[in-house]
Structure 1
């Protein structure tokens, strides 16, 4: 059986074009072909998780069954009574498969049998539903709608991370002809931009430049200009590869009449690190902000564990970015990467408070704005050097 990873080769895009054409014609005429859309979704999931990836396919099926049981059990409980302990249990159970998948390589040296491509992003979606049920924003769950949301094939492997209620607003109706024509225009533009990012720029930085500067940096050892070059080249490769993939996912969603949130918004033009995280991998950043940081801060304040707002915010940043580091993997460089960004945001917050207090005495013009962009860019690139794991290869070779 043919196995194709999403957005990796021309065959996948050719099959996408052929498969989506009837859907596009229907949407141009204000109609959704539900059965056909379901069949196409199933076929593309089969392309991703079938053939040599059949074990991942079975893991995906088992995971969906497990998470659906959690969602409907918690929904049933919500109808009976409101208990915070059951909410916590539902969240723990929802993230348990992801925790097992992340910890297994560190503990055994082998990948978990229950792991599959996209388990993180599916888990984020499930936890988001549980959180919004807890808040009373989601009162009912339709089985088919939940399946369509979780298994939405354009974004299943690497996001962007949509929200359940926002997704249903698009998926349960066909857009007007004028609105869909606009979506088509944006979708086509994002496809071409994605090709530029992923198959031209990411290839140039990741496959042409990166091996060369990486080889020189390893040969030199220690801190050198080659290591600095590696830092910048890797950062560009990381951005263009992931941003290109995200553009494809958003574009295909648009062709399906679903306005999946954009994931990147000129992150390297951010004037400070806080603004950077409002532009980089935005759906993940906002997910962690809404479901981890804000709830952690609220819990601390509600229970009066701390009273100083600055201390609470800083502790929240440490928890937030440590979790984000551990999510990437249980290795020292991912954890240090998380701590680095937590410290960077804490320092940024302190600077913004100082700047606000002394704004009459401090210059604020295009030059200072540009300086902020340059400093932020270099801080981010250094963090990506840590994230790359190259320092582990460089300084901890046998």
Structure 2
């Protein structure tokens, strides 16, 4: 059996877009072919997780059944009670497969690693979101078919963006008029071409052609600067890796969103000129937005509310600082249980806390710093270099440079 890697080669796009035509024709005539879309999704899941990756397919199937049982069970319980303890247990159970997969490399556990499959993180974020909104009452009823359509929406299965259930369902159930759908198709095609240029041209230049050469040069010169490994090659690696990370991921996201548009689903944007951000907080409102907003809404805000409600910390500034630390520490662990991912998370938490101090200082002393093109440029420059340095940490290259 042929295995497909999502958005990895021209053959994939030909097969993807060719098989989408019936669904697109249906939408053009104002009708969503739900049965065809369901069969199309199943077929692509089999092609992606079948063959030599059959173990991932089994893991995905077991995972979906497990999460579906949790959602349906909690929904049924929610009609009768609302105990916090039950909710916490259900959420912990929901994230348990993801935690097991993340700690598997640390424990060198082959059995735990068998639970993993491409996209487990993003499916977990979707499930936890639904559970939390059921708890809040913003969702009152989630049908089995509706949940499966949302969870397994194929364009975004492997790497997002992370949609919200109510927003997705509104698009999925809406009957589009022809002009509106053609506008979506036009925008979707533009996103597809943008994503192809980002991922397969710019991402290839930075990631395949330049990055390995610069990494080799940095390793060769690792004894520069009195044995610290610091060299101009390392600085070049920092910038080139940052560009590769952006163009590869932003390109993938643009392609996934473009395909979603062809299906009449306005999947939210994931990147909005992040390197033009004036400060680190604004950066996180522009970079991997669906993830950062998910963390903001379901970790940062809820932890802030909990700390204030329980009056565990009285100072509001300290509350936000603790919430930032927890938020980004969890984000670091989500990427992987290694020192550089954890330091990456703590680095961004520290940067945002320092940025908040600076913003409060500017607000208290407006006469000291006036807004101008120069100060705006300085802010963008500092933010860009701060982010690039954090990506150097994130890359794990320092681990290779210093410890191998």
**TM-score, with structure 2 as normaliser:** 0.97
Q: Out of 56-65 and 44-53, give the one that drifted further.
A: 44-53
**1:204 alignment counterpart:** 205
Q: What CA distance in whole angstroms lies between the structure 2 residues aligned with 1:51 and 1:174?
A: 37
Kindly report structure 1 stretches of 4+ aligned residues shifted beyond 6 Å: none
**2:94 alignment counterpart:** 94
Paired residue secondary structure (2:140): coil
Paired residue secondary structure (1:154): helix
Q: Out of 108-117 and 165-174, give the one that drifted further.
A: 108-117
**1:63 alignment counterpart:** 63
Q: What CA distance in whole angstroms lies between the structure 2 residues aligned with 1:24 and 1:230?
A: 43
Paired residue secondary structure (2:306): helix
* Contact 1:264-1:279 within 8 A present in 2 as well: yes
* Contact 1:268-1:373 within 8 A present in 2 as well: yes
Superposed CA RMSD in Å reads: 0.8
**1:351 alignment counterpart:** 358
Q: Deviations over 1:309-347 (max 9, x none)?
A: 110000000000000000000000000000000000000
**1:377 alignment counterpart:** 384
Q: Out of 362-371 and 264-273, give the one that drifted further.
A: 362-371
Q: What CA distance in whole angstroms lies between the structure 1 residues aligned with 2:399 and 2:261?
A: 41
Q: What CA distance in whole angstroms lies between the structure 1 residues aligned with 2:109 and 2:349?
A: 29
1:260-271 alignment, distance < 5 Å: 260-271=267-278
**1:127 alignment counterpart:** 128
Q: Deviations over 1:43-88 (max 9, x none)?
A: 1111111111111000000000111111111111101111111111
1:34-183 alignment, distance < 5 Å: 34-108=34-108, 110=110, 112-183=113-184
Q: What CA distance in whole angstroms lies between the structure 2 residues aligned with 1:313 and 1:69?
A: 35
**TM-score, with structure 1 as normaliser:** 0.99
Contiguous gaps of at least 5 residues in structure 2: 223-228
**1:249 alignment counterpart:** 256
**2:22 alignment counterpart:** 22
Aligned length: 397
Contiguous gaps of at least 5 residues in structure 1: none
**2:196 alignment counterpart:** 195
* Contact 1:174-1:257 within 8 A present in 2 as well: no
Deviation at 1:109, TM superposition (A): 5.8
Q: What CA distance in whole angstroms lies between the structure 1 residues aligned with 2:217 and 2:100?
A: 37
Deviation at 1:361, TM superposition (A): 2.4
Q: Deviations over 1:110-148 (max 9, x none)?
A: 461110000000000000000000110111111111111
